[in-house]
Amino acid sequence: MNGWRIRYRLLLLALAPVVVVALALDAYFVVSGLGALNAELRGRGLATVRYLAPAAEYGVIAGNRASLQTIVQAAMSEPDAQAVLITDAAGHTLAVSGRRRAVGSETIQIDGVIEGEQWLGFSAPIWRSGLDAIEFDDLLGASPEAPAAVGEAGAAGRAIVGRVYVELATVALQERRRRLLLTGLAILLAGLLGGAALALRIARGVSRPVMKLADAVEAMAAGELHVRVDEASSGELAVLEKGFNQMATKLEDAHLTLQDRIDDATAQLAHQARHDSLTGLVNRREFEVRVERALARAKAGDAEHAMCYLDLDQFKIVNDSCGHAAGDELLRQITHLLQTRVRGRDTLARLGGDEFGVLLEDCHLDDALRIAEGLRRMVEDFRFSWRDRVFVVGVSIGLVLLTQESKSLAEVLSAADQACYAAKEKGRNRIQLFQPGDRELVERRGDMNWATRIAQAIEESRLLLYAQPVVPLNPATTDGRHVELLLRMLDERGNIIPPRAFLPAAERYDLMPVIDRWVVATACAGIRRFLDNSACRRFVCALNLSAQSVDKAAMLPWIVEQLEAHRVPPEYLCIEISEAAASLNFAATMDFVRGLKALGCRFALDGFGSGLASFSYLKNLPPDFIKVDGSIVREIGESRLSQTLVRAIHEIATDMGVRAVAESIDTPQVFNALRAQGIAYGQGNWLERPRPFGEWIEQNACCPDPKVDGDAGQVLAFRGRKGEVLIPGA
> Nearest CA to 603 among 625, 583, 585?
625
Mean pLDDT calculated for residue range 235-256: 82
pLDDT confidence of 475, banded at 50, 70, 90? low
Answer yes or no: do 126 and 262 share one domain: no
pLDDT for the residue 154: 45
pLDDT for the residue 100: 65
pLDDT for the residue 507: 82
Mean pLDDT calculated for residue range 352-380: 93
Answer yes or no: do 594 and 464 share one domain: yes
Q: Strands (DSSP E) along 526-670, which ranges?
A: 539-544, 573-578, 602-608, 625-628, 659-662
Answer yes or no: do 554 and 613 share one domain: yes
Answer yes or no: do 321 and 351 share one domain: yes
> Nearest CA to 168 among 47, 30, 59, 31?
47
How does pLDDT run across 374-418, given as a tens digit for each residue?
999 999 999 999 988 899 889 999 999 999 888 888 889 888 988
Res 250 pLDDT > 80: yes
Least reliable range by pLDDT among 29-33, 201-205, 214-218, 383-387: 201-205
Tell which of 429, 448, 467 closes a domain.
448
How does pLDDT run across 411-454, given as a tens digit for each residue?
898 889 889 988 887 888 999 998 876 655 555 554 456 778 88
Cα first-last separation, the chain: 101
pLDDT for the residue 486: 95
Least reliable range by pLDDT among 100-109, 357-366, 674-683: 100-109
Domain membership of residue 206 (yes or no) is no
pLDDT for the residue 102: 53
Mean pLDDT calculated for residue range 141-161: 49
pLDDT confidence of 611, banded at 50, 70, 90? low
- Check which CATH number belongs to the domain holding 672 and give it: 3.20.20.450
User: Could you give the percent of the chain with pLDDT greater than 90?
Assistant: 26
Residues 578-611: b if buried by 16+ CB within 10 A, e if exposed: bbebbeeeeebbeebbebbeebebbbbbbbbbbb
DSSP code at position 526? H
Q: How many CB atoms lie within 10 A of CB 18?
A: 18
How does pLDDT run across 62-81, given as a tens digit for each residue?
888 888 888 888 888 888 88
Domain membership of residue 185 (yes or no) is no
Considering the entire predicted model, what is its pTM? 0.44
How does pLDDT run across 453-464, given as a tens digit for each residue?
888 888 888 999
φ/ψ (deg, to 5) at 394: -115, 180
Answer yes or no: do 651 and 524 share one domain: yes
Res 660 pLDDT > 50: yes
Beta-bridge partner residues of 113: 122
- Check which CATH number belongs to the domain holding 35 and give it: 3.30.450.20
Domain membership of residue 203 (yes or no) is no
Domain membership of residue 1 (yes or no) is no
Res 725 pLDDT > 50: no
Res 139 pLDDT > 50: no
Total of domains in the chain: 4
pLDDT for the residue 517: 94
Answer yes or no: do 500 and 642 share one domain: yes
Asked if 367 and 374 count as a contact pair (C-beta separation under 8 A), the reply is no
DSSP code at position 140? G
Answer yes or no: do 401 and 468 share one domain: no
Domain membership of residue 212 (yes or no) is no
Answer yes or no: do 315 and 355 share one domain: yes
Answer yes or no: do 663 and 708 share one domain: yes
Tell which of 233, 248, 274 closes a domain.
274
pLDDT for the residue 724: 43
> Nearest CA to 126 among 63, 79, 83?
63
Domain membership of residue 101 (yes or no) is yes
Residues 276-285: b if buried by 16+ CB within 10 A, e if exposed: beebebbbee
What is the domain range of residue 124?
Answer: 6-176
Paired sense of beta strands 691-692 and 725-726, if any: unpaired
Domain membership of residue 182 (yes or no) is no
Res 372 pLDDT > 50: yes
Helix, strand, coil shares of the chain, percent, nearest 5, are: 55, 20, 25
Domain membership of residue 444 (yes or no) is yes
Res 137 pLDDT > 50: no
Asked if 180 and 37 count as a contact pair (C-beta separation under 8 A), the reply is yes
φ/ψ (deg, to 5) at 584: -70, -40
Answer yes or no: do 441 and 474 share one domain: no
- Check which CATH number belongs to the domain holding 297 and give it: 3.30.70.270
Tell which of 423, 448, 473 closes a domain.
448
Distances (CA, A) of 41 to 153, 172, 523, 533: 33, 10, 122, 130
pLDDT for the residue 489: 93
Residues 113-140: b if buried by 16+ CB within 10 A, e if exposed: ebeeeebbbbbbbbebeeeeeeeeeeee
pLDDT for the residue 7: 63
User: Could you give the percent of the chain with pLDDT greater than 70?
Assistant: 84
Res 155 pLDDT > 70: no
Res 472 pLDDT > 60: yes
pLDDT for the residue 81: 85
For 398-462, the DSSP string reads EEEEE-TT---HHHHHHHHHHHHHHHHHTTSSSEEE--TT-HHHHHHHHHT-HHHHHHHHHHTT-
Answer yes or no: do 172 and 302 share one domain: no
Answer yes or no: do 423 and 459 share one domain: no
Give the torsion through C-alpha atoms of 86, 88, 92, 97, to 10 deg: -10
Res 717 pLDDT > 50: no
pLDDT for the residue 383: 93
> Nearest CA to 544 among 569, 509, 520, 563?
520
Mean pLDDT, the chain, whole residue set: 81
pLDDT for the residue 167: 86
DSSP code at position 131? G
Res 266 pLDDT > 80: no
> Nearest CA to 418 among 400, 404, 406?
400
pLDDT confidence of 36, banded at 50, 70, 90? confident
User: Could you tell me which residue, 638 or 617, shows the higher pLDDT?
Assistant: 638
